[in-house]
Every structure is written in C-alpha cells, then in structure tokens.
Amino acid sequence: MKGTYFLGNKRFETREIPERELAPDEVLLKVAACGVCGTDIHIYHGSKGSAEVTPPVILGHEFSGIVEKIGSAVDKVAVGDHVTVDPNRYCGKCHYCGIGKKQMCENLFAIGVNRDGGFAEYCYVPQSQCYKLDKSVPLEYGAMAEPLACCLHGLDRLRMRQGDTVCVIGGGAIGLMMVQLARLSGASSVVLSEPVQLRREIGLSLGADYAVDPINESLPQRLREILGTDGADVVIECVGNLTATGQAFEAAKRGATILLFSVPKAGSFYQLSLDDVFHKELTILGSMINPDTHERAAQLINSGRIDLKPIITHRYPVDQVEEAILMQMSNESIKVIVGN
C-alpha cells in the first residue's frame, strides 16, 4: 500500500503505508479518487488546515473509494460498498460541541489533515465517517461530496428565500457548485462573476442566468442592467482574495446578505466600510466546514440533481500529488483529482 506523505516545506515523498490491524469500528478503504482542495494548497504553503498539521502525514480529505475490509464491530457498511468520506471528527465534549456548533470544536481533527488521508492507495477510516454511494455513481463524484457538504452548510447559513437574486463571485469548483445549489434553492436569477472565459461558459451551462467578466466589465453596472436593482439579494464569495471580497461588497444591494465562503490566506485583512454596513443594512456571514451535511451531499450526488462532470478537469496518479496541487493553483484547472 503506497501513499504520498507531506513532509513540510513543500516536500512530498511516496512511501509504503505500514499495514496494521483494523480497529473494531474501522474500515480499510481502497481509495478511488481524492480531490485537491484549497486547504491542501494552504498547507502546502505552510498554513494550518481545519486543524494543525504535523508532518509527515498523508493529505487529502476529499475522497471516496470501495470498502476492502471491515473491523469486527462495523455494521454501517459492508465489503464492496462504494462510499464517500466525511473527514471531520469532533470531540463531543467541548463547549462548542455542547452548544451545537461542533464545527468550532476545540479538539477537531480531520482525516487528510492531521491523520493520514486520501492521497494514497488505501486509507483506514472510522465507519462513522463513511456514507454510501450508489454503485452507478462515478467514484470521482464521491470525492466531491465533502466540498459539496461544505457548500450546503454555507447555504444553510444564508437562509435564502425563494425568489432571491444571487451573485456568485468566482467560478472555480466551489462557485460552480454554488451556482447549481442557488438554482435548486429557488433563486430567481443567478449571476456568476468570473474572469476566466471557460469557467463562465461552464457556469452558464450549469444554471447561471448571466456570467460577467469582472476584469473587463463593471460588476455593479452589469448587475443594475441585469437585475434592475443596485445589486443582488445574496452574494456568495468563493475565491479567497481581497479583490473578490471587494467585489462581493460592491455586488450587494441594500439589505443584502454576503457569505464570505472561501478560505482566506492566513493574516488577510479587508478594510470594511462601516458606513456601508450601516446604511445598506448588510448581513455578513462566514461558513466553517460541513457539520451534519455530508449525508445530504451524498444523497444529492446519488440523486443526479447536481452536475459534477464538467467541474472535474484534471487527474493525476497518487505519486504526483505535488504536480496535482500546482495544477489546482493554475487557471487551467477547475477541480483536480488524485486517483488510483
């Protein structure tokens, strides 16, 4: 069994994974596909993930596979099942777990962040983290369940109303899923702001009513032309840089809700106009990982009501994780998958 270990300082090494006995509640998963996430990029550059990273560790927290072996107490899945993995586990004992905000858990740990994950041929996974996929569903779609689950939590936070107008900032994998979820949630109009032409075209094919190039067009002006108002009811920022943050505030009409969904670079600060927050009566939200939404994501993927095929653009073998991360950082890709 091979896996590619992150050693810190932008270094990786493919090694044999030590075999061990399964714990009673564990499964051995033959990994089929693992997505490269923006969190992996942050870790590659030396930042923490959802939890502290201590190399050497196998990264990769967006993954799916086939159950190869099961522990003596496993009763949720069986050998041969296709599953997607929720990487995040919580202590259940701290203050935040106790008040129903386990995504803020003081002892959070995550498979593929501070426990060996999916950039490998096989992975040991607690059965509690496994969710079944229909065998008719491509396994690489199952690798998209974790980011989709995070998107669902963000949408839950927004509490969108039927008929709201929505502007999505950024047409990467997250933005393109948000476009579809906004449509499924009853948005009357969905506008995608994205500078890369291919991503705009894919966004339109996935349900965006309009796509704006914010480099060569004025986003506020185009929103006035498209929506007939001074912005959108709901703005979802999915990029993670200060330019996109600024565009999100420009796109917000009076009374709008802004979801700053993306993972920002550590130490990022945005100079906010408090006068705008007051006079426009803005609601500004954040969103952290995927508490209690992974099963819904798996059900949505099984239903076929969200289209993931055009979002996955590049695939790499397990011994080329660094190359996969570098491709995920480029504008050539949308979603990069590491697979066996």
What tokens does 36 get? 């490269």
Q: Is the dihedral of CA 98, 104, 106, 107 positive or negative?
A: positive
**Is the pLDDT confidence value at 86 over 90?**
yes
Residue 300 within a domain: no
Burial of 278 (0-12, 13-18, 19+ CB in 10 A): exposed
- Residue 159: C-alpha distances to residues 48, 60, 188, 330 (Å): 30, 30, 15, 33
Q: What are phi and psi of 198, to 5 degrees?
A: -60, -40
Examine the residue annotation and report whether 45 is marked as an active-site residue of this protein. Answer: no
Residue 294 within a domain: no
Count of structural domains, the chain: 2
The pLDDT confidence band at residue 268, using thresholds 50, 70 and 90, is confident
> Rounded mean pLDDT of 216-239?
98
Residue 296 within a domain: no
**Is the pLDDT confidence value at 340 over 90?**
no
**What per-residue confidence (pLDDT) applies to 143?**
98
- Residue 222: C-alpha distances to residues 183, 216, 227, 289 (Å): 20, 11, 8, 32
**Is the pLDDT confidence value at 109 over 80?**
yes
Residue 299 within a domain: no
My answer on whether 108 and 221 are in the same domain is no
Q: Domain range spanning residue 315?
A: 2-144+308-339
Residue 298 within a domain: no
My answer on whether 156 and 48 are in the same domain is no
My answer on whether 157 and 276 are in the same domain is yes
My answer on whether 324 and 233 are in the same domain is no
My answer on whether 267 and 194 are in the same domain is yes
The pLDDT confidence band at residue 9, using thresholds 50, 70 and 90, is very high
In the block, tokens 């009409």 appear at 253
My answer on whether 128 and 164 are in the same domain is no
Give tens-digit pLDDT for 170-224: 999 999 999 999 999 999 999 999 999 999 999 999 999 999 999 999 999 999 9
Residue 91 within a domain: yes
Residue in 42, 82, 153, 294 annotated catalytic:
42
My answer on whether 274 and 314 are in the same domain is no
My answer on whether 21 and 94 are in the same domain is yes
Whichever domain contains 257, its CATH number is 3.40.50.720
Q: What is the pTM of this model?
A: 0.96
**What per-residue confidence (pLDDT) applies to 183?**
97
My answer on whether 8 and 139 are in the same domain is yes
**What per-residue confidence (pLDDT) applies to 48?**
74
My answer on whether 128 and 92 are in the same domain is yes
**What per-residue confidence (pLDDT) applies to 124?**
98
Examine the residue annotation and report whether 4 is marked as an active-site residue of this protein. Answer: no
Mean residue pLDDT across the chain: 96
Give tens-digit pLDDT for 41-65: 999 998 876 678 999 999 999 999 9
**What per-residue confidence (pLDDT) applies to 272?**
92
Residue 295 within a domain: no
Residue in 4, 39, 165, 293 annotated catalytic:
39
Residue 301 within a domain: no
My answer on whether 216 and 243 are in the same domain is yes
**What per-residue confidence (pLDDT) applies to 266?**
79
**What per-residue confidence (pLDDT) applies to 27?**
98
Whichever domain contains 127, its CATH number is 3.90.180.10
My answer on whether 204 and 118 are in the same domain is no
Cα–Cα dist 291/294, whole Å: 8
**What per-residue confidence (pLDDT) applies to 264?**
83
